[in-house]
Structure 1
Amino acid sequence: MINKEEEEEEEEVPLHGELLNTVLSHVPLLHLLSASHVCSGWRRAALSLSGALSKPWLLLHTRRSGTPARAYDPSSHEWIHLARAPPPPLPPLARAYARPALRSSHSTLLYTLSPSTLSFTDNPIADTWRSIQSPHVWRRDPVVARVGPRHVVVAGGTCEFEHDPLAVEVYDLTAGRWDACESMPTAMVGSASATATWLSVAVPDCDGDVSMMCVMEKRSGRFCSLDAVTMRWEAMMGEVRPEPSISHSVIGFSGARLVMMGIMGNGESGGGVEGVGVWELRNYSDCGGRSFECIEIGRMPDEMVGRVRNWSQSVGLVMGRGLGYVYEEEGSGREVVWFEVGEEGSVGEWGTVDGCDLVFDDQTLMDGVVLTCATVTLDDLRRAVGFDNQRFSVITRQESE
C-alpha cells in the first residue's frame, strides 16, 4: 500500500502524444502562445496545430501608419494591441510628400501608395512589408490586390487627367517589372471611375497557383474577373441579383468558394436594412455566354438584422478561410458582425465581434479605420511578441475603465 509521502514523491505522468494534441486543439491561438513555452514537446505540438486550427483574425488599422494595430482573435474573443511595424521608409524623393495613408481594397492586403513607391503586406502581424516602384498611371483610389504568388494588380481609381479611368497594371514579383494589362470592362466605367470605394474585390485564398481576381460593383451587381497570367478580363452577363430587393452586395472567397453577401432594403428611400442573405456564386457557361448560378447558403437571423437595421447601405466585407466579417463603411462603425461558412458550404453560425465598443473609440474613428483579416500562425505571434520584448497586450474591459 502506497502511503501519503510516497504519493507526493511519485512523478506525474507527462502529457504528450495524441492526448497532448487533443488538449491543445481546444486552446485558442492567443493562449497557445503561453503553452508553447512549457517545454520543447509542447512547443512542437503547438506549432503543428496552430496553422490548421486558427480562424482568420480581424485586424483594425488606423490610416495614420505610425499608430498600433488592434487584432481580434475569434477563438478567444479577445482584442490585442499590437505594436505594428510601419511600412518601409520612403525614398528621399518621396519624403517631400506627407506619408501616405494606409489603405485596403481587398480582405487580406494592406498598402500605402506614394508617387514613387507602393508598399504592401498581406500579414501585418508578421511584419512582411514589401516595397516596389509605384505604377506608371497615377491613381487616387485604386483596387490593389495580391493575386496568386507572383502578381500585384492595380486597377481603376485613376486621377481625372488620366485618359483611361479603367487602366490596369500588373506587377510581376518574380521579374520585378510592371506589365500593361487589358483595361477593365467598359461596363464598370459607371462605378465613379472604377474606384475602390464602389467596388468589392475578392481573390481566392485556397492553396495553389490561382491567379484570379474578381470584382463586383457594389450597387449594381455588375461583375468581372481578371486572369493575371493571360492579362485578360471577362465580364459576366447582366447583373448578379438573386433577389430584386438587394441594394448593395459584396464578395469574398471562402477557400475556393466565391461568396456574395446581399443587403436587402431600399437604400434610395433611407428605409434601412431589411434583410441580409449569403449566396455561393457558381460560374457556368451557356449559349449566351458566361453567368452565375446563385445558391443561397444562409440568412442573417431576424434578431441580428434588427441590430444592423440602421446601418447605411454601404457595407464592407473582409473574409478569410471560412469566416467573414461584416461592418458598416459609413457611420459610427462601432459594431462588426461575423458569419462562418462550414466545410459543407452553408453558413452555420452568425455572431457579433466582442469588444468593438472598446477599440472603435472616438479618436480611432476620427483617424479613419481600415479593416483586413489574416490567418495568423503561432510563428507569427512568436515573432510579434519576441522573446525579450513583449509587443502586444490584451485589451480588457478593466483596462479601459
Structure 2
Amino acid sequence: MTTRDETPWATIATLLLAATLPALSGGIVNPVLPAIEAAFSSVSNAGVLAQLVSTLTGLIIAIFAPIVGVLVDRYGRKRVLIVSMIIYGIGPSSAYFLDSLYLILWTRVFLGIAVAGIMVSVTTLIADYFSGKRRETVMGWQGAMMPFGAAVAMIAGGVLADLNWRIVFLTYLVALLMVPLVVFFIDEPEVDTASDSSLPSVAELQDILAELPLAFLTGVYLVMFIGMIGYNQINVEIPFYLQTVTSVDGTMTGIAIAIVSVVAGLVSLNFDRIRERYSPIAIIVGIFAATGIGFVVASVTEQYWIIVAGIVIAGAGLMLLTPTINYWVAARVTEQYRGRALSGVTTTQFLGMFVSPIAAEPLISRLGTGQALLAIGVLGFALMALFAVVAFRRRSLTDATPATQPND
C-alpha cells in the first residue's frame, strides 16, 4: 500500500466534498415531502409513497453497499466513485421532469445505488491513502460531513420548497460538477485488487473468508446497526415528541434537530484527538454512555431546552460511531479486502436507519414516546456496561502480554 500522509489538500478537499453528497441525498428532499404528497393527492396511498421518496434510498444503500464493496476491490476505487457520481447527478435529478410518483420513486433507487458507491469508495480511498493519526484525522473530517451536510441540506430544502418542490431534484446535478475534481485530483491507490471479473469459486470464497476477522466484523456491524436505530429516533420520533410535550412549532423543532447535527459534526471533527487518547472500544463505551444519558434526560422532562440538551448529548455520541467503526475496520482488514469490509459498515448504518421507525413502533405503541425514549436510554447504559467489561478484559490481557496485543 502507498501511504499518503502528504496527500495534497486538493485531494483531501475533493474526498470531503464527495462525502457531503450522501447527506444531501436525503436531507434536502425531506422538507418538500408534503408538497409531493399534495401534488399527487389523486394517487392511491400518496402519503406513504411520498414518505418512501425519502426512506427508500436508505434501503437501497443497505442492499447495494456489499456489491459496491466487491466492485471497488475488483475494479478500483476511483472508477467506482466516478460512475457513482454520474449516476447521482443524472438519476435523481430526472425526477424534475416526471409526472408520475412511481417513476420518481424509481429515480430514488438510482440515488441509493449512487450513494452506496460514493460512501464505500470515499471511505476506502481515505483508508488507503492514510495511516495512523492522519487517517484518524481525515476520517473524523469525513464523519463531520454527514451532520454538517444534513444541516445545510435541511435549510436549503426548506428554502427551495417555498419556490417549487421540483427544483429540489435539480440540486443533485452538483455531483456532475464534482466529477472533474475526482478525475484530476484523485489517484488510484496502489493496492492488490483482483483483475479477474469472474465470480469467485467456493475455494476462493473460503480463502477470502479466512482472511477476514469475521467475529470482529460481525460485532462492529451489529454495533453500527443498533446505534443507527437509536440515532434515527432523533430524526423520526423527537420532532413529534417535542411538539407534543412542549407545544413548540415546526421552526423550533427544526432548530433542535439542526443543533444536534452541528454539534455532532463538531465532535466528529475532533475524532483524531479522541482516538489519540482512547482505543476504539473505549470510545464505544463513551458513545453508549452518552446515548444513555441523552435519552434518559430527554424522556424525563417537558422543558424544550432540556430535551434539546439530551438529544444533543445522545446524537453527538452516536454520530461518533461512523468514524470510529470505519477507522477500526480499516485498521483490522488488509487493503485487498478493505472495500468489502467497509461496505458492511455502510450497509448496517443505513439498514439501521431504515428499520428504525419499524423497530421502535411496538415500544412506542405500548409505552408512549417518552417511556420508549427512556427504554432506549436504559439500553444505552446496558451496552455501555457490556463494552466496558470487554474493554477491561482486553486491557487485562494487554497488561499480561504487552508485546502481542494490538492497541486496536
Greater strand proportion: 1
**Which is higher, the Rg of structure 1 or of structure 2?**
1
Name the one with the larger helix percent: 2
Give the TM-score of the pair, scaled to structure 2: 0.23
Q: Which has the higher contact order (CA 8 A, sep 6+)?
A: 2
Q: TM-score, normalised by structure 1?
A: 0.24
